Structure 1
């Protein structure tokens, strides 16, 4: 195979480039932004200023795509959870999961988004058959005889045998497909009107490396507090429509005190703030059903948030992109016959898991508007019982965490052994 092109040098695009490098002679990544030399914020990734994490399945995929990557992050200063005593997650909004013993490694990458992106970008640039070009934006697809043959840019047409769109939530792929005479994918959208306010900190001490308290009915606000590289930490307070968190430091601390345990509040009060609070808005979970299309041009695929973008409070986007990059590599190694159908079917599996977790969690809150058919209502009741059981029962807690971290399918939560513990 000859030349593959990736649109977007974010996490999804970098993962895609690594996967393609194993199959194609040349891979070119083009990025609209000017990329920083070291870790740094950039205009095209405004969400990079907020809390990010690669959950277990994503961290494991990172290590498979870039062997030794997690160890390199730790050596560069990334905190690592080695024991569940350092991990306090309350997905039911109350008491934390009862998790015991050592955590699997790699368990999670506790680093800022710019730090992670810089390290992965360095690994991609070191690949002999990959070139990363910044300051180049794709304006349209080029096609010959029903096959995508490259992309058009302000500087001219760039030819490629395969184009992978990893431009994220703002992807123009549906419009590009329509312009070529192909149907755009159907779109599923669940509005949630989520606002999240983030503050970077330098703590004196932390009660745990990972703290998370989810929103719950009657209190549709949640918090995460993650340790990060260089002795820093990041706090994000999120809230749904009508319950958006305050934007000022004093109000944000008061909102934290309504949600977090006292030792967490005390640690944040004692920490040095690194800048002012930063605000972001996430209007809706959105999924494009490329896996349902019957007609699709050869030479073009889509990956990451351009397929499925879910509530960032669940921290699944980067991990889904990593799993989809692995799926891309695997289907390409099996040949290009019927490539789009095979790839989109494989890419839909991690996307569906993230969608079910995020949308199911959001619709469990009566404050979030939206239809709730009988299966959704029944699942909400069962999940509530399951989470209450997980606060006391380590068997249920560990099973829930494996599903939440995309290591196992959600059907594992309905196994008789788990269901009996949840309903007892």
Structure 2
């Protein structure tokens, strides 16, 4: 049960993390102001989300939480013509081999990032007391004289606007990878948080297409030959809204697909399976190709700080930015929103307690993505015994999933944050993994 804990909360950034934070803050504060640098009227990708043009994944638990926070969200998406399907029935390829499809009951909402974000934003704006301040730059945090408590934020509307202060009982930083909270903390005498980095030098090169005949997909929603150390080039192909399809080609360690159509199509021939090239070879290109570079995953270890100013929270990519090929960002943001709601139900959140609690959420996602990236020998990082053993087991599990739909189902539930990682290590699952991996080796 929500309780009123303050008059005004200010959220920095209208990202998915910021919007979801605003959703739960609206239960506890009379007024919630979202400060956003970009204009939000256009339907396409915005400057603050440079990865917005590329394929995005909303994992199963993320979809479930959106449905919980915004009842009817999934059906509204279906009614609006956004393609949906069962996550386990998509065409998944790992290490060049297709996983055996499985009916999981987990819903994949296959919309573009701008569309999903706009639908969440529309639902948030319907909430009483919530207002978005568009085209506002964030100048600085405002604190008390001792810098022990944040009391507001200085903002400026446009380049010529006069700076003014928004007083707040709570400020939430959801400004993403470019967050200035580390700088502000240093200026206030707290020091910066330590950081973990995994340098993967990922690139996404994306184009949209209109298929002459969707029957070529054989009813599939998505085709995903996922990159791996054995097959570093990967792709995500999905049907999206408005009868369009989007294809993002992924390269790692500096490898990048061309943006021009001829080079783009040629690159699809180098994928470990021919499916993607066969689908788009005769498709009509829509728009130009775009590239997004992602140098490294970054985790800021706020939870390890000894001191932190009161009335300031940080979440989303501002705390941890994951390699996007694992599709974790939006779903982790939904999980963090639930943690925030739990804290709000106990009163005004205590920053370090909140940051330590969301660290538990981040741990699961970070171990999964960092472990995958460290599977590339060229990627620098500490490979503990846990990481090495996890890599060996995951390779066997993915091999077993090419033979056993039950393994596929459990894998998708864990990767989608519906089941805990321990589900992959149950005696029954270990038996199926070892048996399936042996069968896969015999059929390779």
Rounded Cα–Cα distance in structure 1 between residues aligned with 2:122 and 2:49 = 18
- 1:325-377 Cα offsets, whole Å, 9 max, x none, are 1111111112226x213311221233222211211111112243433233322
2:179 alignment counterpart: 171
**TM-score, normalisation: structure 2:** 0.90
Q: Does 1:245 align with 2:250?
A: no
1:355 alignment counterpart: 366
Within-5 A mapping of 1:265-414: 265-336=277-348, 339-414=350-425
The answer on whether the counterparts of 2:22 and 2:130 sit within 8 Å (CA) in structure 1 is yes
Q: Does 1:228 align with 2:228?
A: no
Task: Please report how far the alpha carbon of residue 312 of structure 1 lies from its aligned counterpart in structure 2 after TM superposition.
Answer: 0.8
Task: Please report how far the alpha carbon of residue 242 of structure 1 lies from its aligned counterpart in structure 2 after TM superposition.
Answer: 4.4
Rounded Cα–Cα distance in structure 2 between residues aligned with 1:278 and 1:260 = 22
Q: Does 1:134 align with 2:134?
A: yes
Bigger CA drift: 306-315 or 364-373? 364-373
Task: Please report how far the alpha carbon of residue 260 of structure 1 lies from its aligned counterpart in structure 2 after TM superposition.
Answer: 5.4
Rounded Cα–Cα distance in structure 2 between residues aligned with 1:104 and 1:304 = 27
Are residues 54 and 83 of structure 1, via their aligned partners in 2, closer, same or farther at CA, if it must alter by over 3 Å? closer
Task: Please report how far the alpha carbon of residue 280 of structure 1 lies from its aligned counterpart in structure 2 after TM superposition.
Answer: 0.9
1:89 alignment counterpart: 92
1:216 alignment counterpart: 228
Task: Please report how far the alpha carbon of residue 83 of structure 1 lies from its aligned counterpart in structure 2 after TM superposition.
Answer: 7.7
The answer on whether the counterparts of 2:236 and 2:248 sit within 8 Å (CA) in structure 1 is yes
Rounded Cα–Cα distance in structure 2 between residues aligned with 1:22 and 1:153 = 25
CA RMSD of aligned residues (A): 1.7
Task: Name stretches of at least 5 consecutive residues in structure 1 with no aligned partner.
Answer: none
Rounded Cα–Cα distance in structure 2 between residues aligned with 1:235 and 1:349 = 33
Rounded Cα–Cα distance in structure 1 between residues aligned with 2:417 and 2:292 = 25
The answer on whether the counterparts of 1:65 and 1:326 sit within 8 Å (CA) in structure 2 is no
1:153 alignment counterpart: 155
Rounded Cα–Cα distance in structure 2 between residues aligned with 1:93 and 1:172 = 39
Task: Please report how far the alpha carbon of residue 263 of structure 1 lies from its aligned counterpart in structure 2 after TM superposition.
Answer: 3.8
Q: Does 1:124 align with 2:129?
A: no
The answer on whether the counterparts of 1:58 and 1:323 sit within 8 Å (CA) in structure 2 is yes
Q: Does 1:28 align with 2:33?
A: yes
Instruction: Name the SS of the counterpart of 2:84 in structure 1.
Output: coil
Rounded Cα–Cα distance in structure 1 between residues aligned with 2:82 and 2:306 = 44
Within-5 A mapping of 1:56-75: 56-75=60-79
Bigger CA drift: 50-59 or 328-337? 328-337
Q: Does 1:104 align with 2:105?
A: yes
The answer on whether the counterparts of 1:240 and 1:367 sit within 8 Å (CA) in structure 2 is no
- 1:271-308 Cα offsets, whole Å, 9 max, x none, are 21111211110000100111222211111001100111
Are residues 196 and 399 of structure 1, via their aligned partners in 2, closer, same or farther at CA, if it must alter by over 3 Å? same
Rounded Cα–Cα distance in structure 1 between residues aligned with 2:88 and 2:62 = 18
